[in-house]
Structure 1
């Protein structure tokens, strides 16, 4: 026993001294936090914060409850059992270590300053309080009321710290969210549902917003509103339809779950396969924020997902027929004929056909066992015969019939008059005449008729609409209630730095579309803007904006990209001042590699300076004739990357006899200015021969008072010099 007691005593002494050392180290970190750069191995330690934080919560709350509720004998010297001292000491040690790890973790990007502030200081207070609690436990326990009051305060402080941490990790009000009223899905009719507001945004709110909100913006990306989502984060917008993988969002989603860049992070609720298909379909079709669900093909995953999830806008329709047996549905379902319930517990069925090459008229007649249960039928792009409409007319409970691009002529449309409950009929892409439509007057239940790309003239369409006033017509004419919007053009030229006579190339998937563009920063219109033909030749740094137009369609949203032109590449570069250790950019070689970097300043493709001005000399083996020098730089306000306060460009034929070619004094950004963007500074001068070019960029000496790191020096970052 004496040996065991001695070992325990030595262990307690070691643990107490370690806690004291950690408290001192924590105080040192807090004093010099703004001047300390965290190395990579310490970042790993910081990321262990979530692994350890449960220990101090459990231990300190356990000790606090023991003080509050442990029965006290009448003796004034009565004390808690000895094991409680060990619990308190272990709680103080783990609380201090957890607070220290949290400070290291807070140095990473993506956290709102105010929320980090309160969580950090309540955590620090818990660490110091718990150490003092253990150090003066005997004095505190001498009086019952002060001991219990102190314990109550400590427990409340610990719980408040944990609550703030939960808000950071899982979103605001995470702890009490089960007690709050549930956010019910908005009731909206499928015909009126917007793709982003009613389908995409609910997915983002459920799976993404906990890490991308105004309090915690990983990668400086906020996804709470359409405007903030379009603005993007430090790596730009989350999607790019010009890329094969459609951009960063889907690229991260498709990474292996164990990959640290996978989204959502491992341990959080993951996107389902259907939700990923919805996001992909939305982005592939232009990521429009105003498009409607009904503008998507019925077989599109987004349309199917929305049909299953959105409410009908009122009470669910009830049917007076019995449900078909599961066995019958399984037997009739094939790889090319999919039969699904209209909704949960509904006897109504939806039938979709796929693969036109394998379709036969018998595929319709085989559905006779469920002809009463079919409520929705989509045979788009199937090679139907006019005689097949007689078979379809036997599906007496049809509410929606989609016959787009099926090849029917309209001669047998009178067969559809037997469908007394038909509400929606789509005949897009067929050779339907205006006289054929007259036959549909007998369907008194008909509410909506789609006649896109038919043989009906605009004049005949107006007459039909006046005769069938109870029906909503949609055909692409200006008199329609719904006109579809084109997808934006695709930019095929991905390299942003254009060398010599290279051209920018655009395309659009829809035939007959006219692409118009501007290079002056204005939005293209359908009348006066330049028309794209066979490439765009640029002669200077250019911001290209393009839109697509076609008669009968709304003009597309705009797509834009900045292109940089260069005609002369330096043969070598020398950094005359020392950059930040982790932002050396291969000794400055990234400044002349001819590649425009993205906005991830940690990717090794930027050079960054803070302690002294950026000063770089560029060399040419043979003299060049130059008239302009442009500098590609970065602004990332949250990461203390500001525009330089002064820029200078020098040049000449001898390194020791350079003359000033141009200089700029730049204003300090205001608090409401753009947070993250590419910068381009151009210096034009009289054309002259040069063998040496020197660039100087002076960083901001002190960040402004509104910045979270106010008073500290700012960074300047540059990724390319462009010479013409």
Structure 2
């Protein structure tokens, strides 16, 4: 009988909801019956009141047995117990009144509806007070407490008791002290419960509190019980740390040993004091990040659920004002910008004025000078600035010194003098200055590839190419014959003048350092200068560029295809006619295109070239087919597609570029309309033809010193 009573008693929390539901339903239907007299709810009312009465009897019995286990505040228990009995009695009388069992009960029936409802609510309220506390109706969830100086915080008040309040006091409080244990204050913790003291100061790991927490979930003594919110691994670690320090109730964080073990957990109790935490921005939508990536930008969210963006333009040699345009809408969210070893220069520095929340800026290996540092005044929260390998001098230190929150700056391999830097450091002792190569920042002792710089990658007559290295005493070896350069390759001159299409490859060499990787750049000559370009069909959507003029202006588009320099066609082919100034021998057409499958952009699959002397009658002279992508590719790629043919006299050259029209089967959206993006159509005569797969050794070039 003892085992049976315990099992039935434990069913009380489940059973107690049945009379509430049945009786309230019956009372509600009785009210509707009196309002809508034409409806007959009487059978349903009788059934509800009968089930409610029977459930009340079972709930009262199991509740009475459960109270014998103890652990409840006595006054609340007595109120709840006797109101439960009153509910059972009133439910029985209400049901009998509904049946018109006696004349008196029939007369009292309307009043019994009110009495039963009031008593039912009262019994439920005191039951909730026993389980959840007397203020459970109006109690608000406690907001996590934080302090500005975690070292001065009381560990018990800030960390331990809030953990108890969130995970333990639901069953261990004055109104419901399961096992005779109260965990709402220091006195209760020190007193322990029916099973004895909670703490073993001699061997903290053997303390009863930790033993119960570490028990397997299926063991009945595991705390918190199964079905209740469990302690997280971090909360258990904080409890172990506190108890390992003697379960001190008056100790501050700075007084505790082994703080390093919980340093990361303690950060959650530190009030964010920096500028970015106070901005209170919502998390950056992942859809927005994907849209920016689809536009060719290398961006990432700073952390999960973070509102901030990290932008990477490192080693991009085609940065322009247009590169920053897609980011302007989110300028206040960009906290890190990496432009290292790119073509970033003084002319582009003004583009950063909108990014006022920048925290870290990397400009190492760029062409920034003192003149371009004026933009720093617009970045009041910048903390880390990397200028190593730039031409910044003592003059530039003045602008840098105006940054109020600067914490670290890299000035290795700059033109800043030792005397000037010493004076600046004395005026700004809070700033850590990096003057030598930091291997964690700059990696192993390997040289960076030289930057191949020219006014453009497209040209008509000739172009000057320079190799720029940010290390002193570096030799640059290069080749233009299609083979990788080696130790015996010629030294890169001050200026390399190309007069024909060539792919320049170069690497840096310095004693005591590892050779750099090979950098390369293709410079394409459009030997024939087209007079105009005319589109035969308009581009799609916003990808209009400058119309037909975009095909002959030698302005190469970048990987950021939304920057306005590309002609885009969705689900259709493209046609254009280039007009030469006069009848001219032509024997090659080169199409410049972009591929970015993630944005549904693919290279063309074929093209047809026709020529005319009068612009009216065209005859086909060549066509070319190119293989389609048969596997998943996500990278952005820019590529030239040459079409060679026998020399022919022409003034008008018509090019019909064929699109794949549909996304391939492997694409996330197979069968959807695909795009082609074009930015240049180059014309060449017999003297200008080049080998696109590898540059001939006889390619004409000139060097000057």
Compute the TM-score of the two structures, normalised by the length of structure 1.
Answer: 0.39
Compute the TM-score of the two structures, normalised by the length of structure 2.
Answer: 0.39
